[in-house]
Structure 1
Amino acid sequence: MPGQYPVTFGEVELLRDLDRQDGWVLSKDGVPQSYVDLQDPTFLEFEYVRLMADVIDLLDEGPLSCLHVGGGACTIPRYVATTRPGSRHIVIEPDGLLVNLVREQLDLRSVPRLKVIVAGGREGTAKIWDDSADLVVLDAFMGATMPVELATTEYLSDLTRVLRPSGTLLINLADGKGLAFARRLLATVTGTFGHVALLAEPGVMRGRRFGNLIVAASRTELPLDLLTRRAAGGLTQARCVHGGALTNFIAGAAPIKDGDAVLAPVPPPAVFG
């Protein structure tokens, strides 16, 4: 049912999509957090989620063992469960009341082989077995801000422990003018993974407007040519930056370490107006 619902960390709103009978938006503090179509989990409304799906679609065929840090309405687990039957999902989400709401109102029980751990990102990840994930999706936000403790060298090291040697890490981050946080996070990722690509809509990539950027990282080669073509062929004609261009993007920024005084960027009020 549409409406406002209390959760552990405040209040969320469920909004029905007037254009799609089974489309729902989960919003918190006026910021859209998730979109799901209950009848067609392959319909991805948000551009940055489509970019993540582009990466996932290019991974080796077959079921995936997935860890999702940040749950929301579980858009990506639903997508992977549909496009790769037999996949297994562990979702780490700190808001237990939100998990219950999504179970009851957005049919989370229908997603096969999905387990939720109610915990913070670092606490939950520490419980995951070594070398157990083909795919890790880090998409954790408090409102519109990524928790800095999930962007550090130390935390990425723990995600590396969880990933299989050929596994892939996807990170959703948000940044705006100057992209200072994005550069530092990319410096952190490239210090841990040998193969990294950055995907974003051109205006966001140039720091002209606040928006989402997707990081793909692996210890083995990424399908960069296919990914570049697929991203450019989407509605946003997103760019894929890697290699020397990514080194130039980072421009000598320092990796983020535990205890660093780093402020994650907050969107201007007009973004969600």
Structure 2
Amino acid sequence: MPNPRRKPRTPKRRIAGSYPIASGHATIVADPERDGAYILEVNNVPSSYVVPGAPEVLEYDYMRWIASFIEGVALPVPFTAVHLGAAGCALPSYVQHRWDSENIAVELDGALAKLVRDVFDPPVAIKVAEARAFTHAIAPGSVDVIVRDVFAGPDTPRPLTTVEYYRAVYRSLRPGGVFVANIGDAQGLARTRAELAGLRQLFAHTRVAASAPVLTGGAYGNVVVAASDTPLRFDGEVPSKPGQLLIDDSPARHD
């Protein structure tokens, strides 16, 4: 298992190219505008922006939103975070670097996990497992943060969006912990509204962050939902860009 606290190395060989993985293929593309930066595409979908040796870089908006929600709950440091959906481990590496925390990245595709270990050498542990099974196996009250960034095509797999699953998440979190989910949604935000309804059965507070076109214009894009029994803020060191909106859900019912 990789040491979650060791300093990442910078790759010495050429790593751009296409690689077979269990779910299809992964492509690593060098960013022509930034020396040493790469985009990891999984089955032609951009999944991670990685600068090996520079874990403080978060290029994608939705990852900055997730980091802001983690910042907003003011967890004691160090804390323990589980990231469901590892891809290139950009966000787990950032959280480890920013808060000197213990991070576990969970990836279903074993070949992709091996590729990421070999090519990017992230400073976090990568576990090969199915996200739902892994969540149910977490010891009660043993983690502080759970991030869900799992997709099958444009959607989150249904088993990761049920009240039963949220109960497993809630049980796994320590008091004051936070669950943050990345959702792909479009006009009407039906998926986001359904997930909020389920989360509000368990968590006292929920909040949503997304871009203005997604929230108001019906464009498909990322919506980040956070849920906690601690009041949520969105004022971290990596805030949303100008023009992006933050909305609060109505007060939740806590069972």
CA RMSD of aligned residues (A): 1.9
Structure 1-normalised TM-score? 0.81
**Whole-Å Cα distance in 2 between the matches of residues 208 and 155 of structure 1?**
28
Query: 2:243 pairs with 237, 261, 267, which one?
Result: 237
Runs (4 or more) in structure 1 with deviation over 3 Å come to: none
What are the residue-to-residue correspondences of 1:219-258 with 2, within 5 Å?
219-223=229-233, 226=235, 231=239, 234-244=240-250
1:59 is displaced (CA, Å) by: 3.4
Structure 2-normalised TM-score? 0.87
SS at match of 2:137: coil
2:189 corresponding residue in structure 1: 179
**Whole-Å Cα distance in 2 between the matches of residues 72 and 145 of structure 1?**
16
1:89 corresponding residue in structure 2: 103
Task: Indicate the percent of aligned positions where both proteins have the same amino acid.
Answer: 33
Q: Does 1:169 align with 2:179?
A: yes
Deviations 1:131-186 (A, max 9, x none): 11111101111233211111111111101111111101110001112211111111
What are the residue-to-residue correspondences of 1:133-148 with 2, within 5 Å?
133-148=143-158
Q: Select the structure with the greater relative contact order (CA < 8 A; seq sep ≥ 6).
A: 2
Q: Which runs of 5+ in 2 are unaligned?
A: 1-14
Query: 1:218 pairs with 228, 231, 236, which one?
Result: 228
| Total equivalences in the alignment | 237
What are the residue-to-residue correspondences of 1:61-72 with 2, within 5 Å?
62-72=77-87
Query: 2:204 pairs with 194, 202, 207, which one?
Result: 194
Q: Which amino acid aligns with 1:40?
A: A
Deviations 1:73-128 (A, max 9, x none): 1111100111112x1112221111100000001122xx1xx333211111112221
Deviations 1:223-266 (A, max 9, x none): 36x47x975xx32432221144x89xxxxxxxxxxxxxxxxxxx
1:76 corresponding residue in structure 2: 91
1:217 is displaced (CA, Å) by: 0.7
SS at match of 1:63: coil
1:64 is displaced (CA, Å) by: 1.7
Q: Which amino acid aligns with 1:142?
A: A
Q: Which runs of 5+ in 1 are unaligned?
A: 248-273
Query: 1:160 pairs with 134, 158, 170, which one?
Result: 170
